[in-house]
Amino acid sequence: MSEVALGIFLVVIASFLGVPAIILLGLVLVATGAVQEVWGRRGLDGIEYRRHLPSPHGIVGDEIAIDISVWNRKALPLAWLKADDEAAAGVVVRERDLVRAESGESVLRNAWTLAPYERVVRHFHVLAERRGVYRIGPAQLAVGDLLARPAATGASPGIDVWTVRPRSVAVRAVVSDQRWGGELKARRGLLDDPTRYAGIRPYQPGDPLRGIHWRATARLGHPVSKRFDPARQREVVVALDIETGIGPAGADRYDDELVESLCVAAASLVRQLRAEGATVGLAAAAHSEGTRTMAYVAPGGSEGQLGRCLDLLARLSSFPSAPFERLLAMLVRSVSPATSLVVLSARDPSPYLPALRGIERSGYPVWHLGFGPAAPALIARARAAAIASSPAQLDGPWRTATALLVGP
């Protein structure tokens, strides 16, 4: 409006002085001011701004496709339309560098020139360089008028979220007779599922009478029992000790490379256990989303269980939220009897060895995996406390490793 006011002022003054050239300049200013007013009122009308994320998940090293489309659904052309998408820390776009907005936020800046009814789709790729949960949006929109001056601003409130899961690599046991479930006798055997009839077998002393297949026994002339598929497979919980021994629990000091390597190792173990048919869960004394201090996915055998565990690892803070012993105590209360506990740790186990011994005495098979460069010393301490322990090591840096070697 200041331009219109200046134009009118010039017209009035020039009319007094009788200078048509200044009247001309005044009229031009009035017209350009009017143009800005029109685009200011109508510029953002009919603008449809969208982001499309085909998959909300990725794995470290992936390139996650993200399409940004803008549609000018009106007859007014736009010299430019600028969109600043707020991007969370760590978001890296392959095709474009993020810029720092006036507000201090990192933004993905895009601008288009749009003809009437023109729709433009740009295909970007977000690099999944580290595990985590990333966000992009909301977007601040601005349009230019016919003379390409800023005319109007607005916002597109949508937020897109994606999770970058840690890598998982093949697990190679250095000794072939490696055990997951434990050598100790379980207090309870596998339960038969009465809906899963699988045939008959010769009667063995101790079989319940209701399990005898009477008709088959009469037909065959010797006692036979019904056979059912087990109702529950092996149940394992991977307890990840996120603490790297640099600072106390709750302190945000950590060895970043070691934490990421631990996450890769944990993801690999979970994937391997699922591949072997185990019912698997994951726990860590670290922050994930929300205010809970313990991150826990209860054991499950569903299709989505691996994804849930990997998502938990993606969201996991790099520093511990509570002492690991507290996590172990919580697990004992949460998991079913006979559940195997695989403890993955890269620090001195002495503080939590008493808790592990107590768990084992309660009937939960425990297997300690000493991880990292100090693994030999770690497993020596664990074994000295009569805890089964093995070294576990990635065969390279966590970004490029191809296997998790689990030794004797």
| 206 torsion bin: left (phi>0), alpha (psi -120 to 50), beta (else) | left
User: Closest CB to other proteins among 41 and 94?
Assistant: 94
Q: Please, what is the minimum distance in Å from the beta carbon of residue 29 to other proteins?
A: 8
Look at residue 391 and give its three-state secondary structure: strand
User: Closest CB to other proteins among 28 and 384?
Assistant: 28
The only residue of 1, 5, 28, 218 in contact with other proteins, by rule CB under 8 A: 28
Q: How many residues bind other proteins (CB under 8 A)?
A: 51
- x/- site string to other proteins, residues 90 to 129, per CB under 8 A? ----xxx------------xxxxxxxxxxxxxxxx-----
The only residue of 88, 133, 146, 405 in contact with other proteins, by rule CB under 8 A: 146
- How far apart CA 64 and CA 160 sit, in angstroms, is 12
Look at residue 349 and give its three-state secondary structure: coil
- Indicate the residue type of 266: A
Helix H or strand E segment including 98: none
Q: Please, what is the minimum distance in Å from the beta carbon of residue 59 to other proteins?
A: 22
User: Closest CB to other proteins among 110 and 390?
Assistant: 110
Q: Please, what is the minimum distance in Å from the beta carbon of residue 98 to other proteins?
A: 12
DSSP letter (8 states) at residue 293: S
User: Closest CB to other proteins among 19 and 133?
Assistant: 19
- How far apart CA 311 and CA 284 sit, in angstroms, is 13
Q: Please, what is the minimum distance in Å from the beta carbon of residue 105 to other proteins?
A: 16
Quick check: 144 binds other proteins (CB under 8 A)?
Answer: yes
User: Closest CB to other proteins among 23 and 282?
Assistant: 23
Site for other proteins in 52-71 (CB under 8 A): 71
- Indicate the residue type of 287: H
- What is the full DSSP assignment across 185-202? PPSS-PPEEEEEEEEEEE
Strand spans (E) along 305-388: 340-345, 366-371
Q: Please, what is the minimum distance in Å from the beta carbon of residue 48 to other proteins?
A: 10
Answer whether 300's CB lies under 8 Å from 320's CB.
Answer: no
- How far apart CA 108 and CA 86 sit, in angstroms, is 7
Look at residue 58 and give its three-state secondary structure: strand
Triad 87, 130, 391: Cα angle to 5°: 160
Residues 6+ apart with CB under 8 A from 220: none
The piece of 27-35, 129-137, 228-236, 251-259 that touches other proteins (CB under 8 A) is 27-35
Site for other proteins in 230-249 (CB under 8 A): none
- How far apart CA 50 and CA 220 sit, in angstroms, is 71
User: Closest CB to other proteins among 101 and 374?
Assistant: 101
Look up residue 94 and give its two tokens: 């392959």
Output the CA–CA distances (angstroms, integers) from residue 69 to 39, 48, 72, 138, 341, in the order listed: 21, 8, 10, 14, 48
The only residue of 4, 35, 170, 216 in contact with other proteins, by rule CB under 8 A: 35
The piece of 20-28, 161-169, 185-193, 308-316 that touches other proteins (CB under 8 A) is 20-28
User: Closest CB to other proteins among 26 and 182?
Assistant: 26
The piece of 78-86, 192-200, 219-227, 390-398 that touches other proteins (CB under 8 A) is 78-86
Q: Please, what is the minimum distance in Å from the beta carbon of residue 163 to other proteins?
A: 24
Nearest residue to 360 via CA among 386, 323, 398, 378: 386
User: Closest CB to other proteins among 150 and 300?
Assistant: 150
CA 329 to chain CA mean position, Å: 26
User: Closest CB to other proteins among 79 and 133?
Assistant: 79
Q: Please, what is the minimum distance in Å from the beta carbon of residue 122 to other proteins?
A: 5
Look at residue 326 and give its three-state secondary structure: helix
Q: Please, what is the minimum distance in Å from the beta carbon of residue 399 to other proteins?
A: 23
Site for other proteins in 190-219 (CB under 8 A): none
- How far apart CA 142 and CA 111 sit, in angstroms, is 9
User: Closest CB to other proteins among 23 and 267?
Assistant: 23
List residues binding other proteins (CB under 8 A): 10-12, 14-25, 27-28, 31-32, 35, 71, 73, 77-80, 82, 94-96, 109-124, 144, 146-149
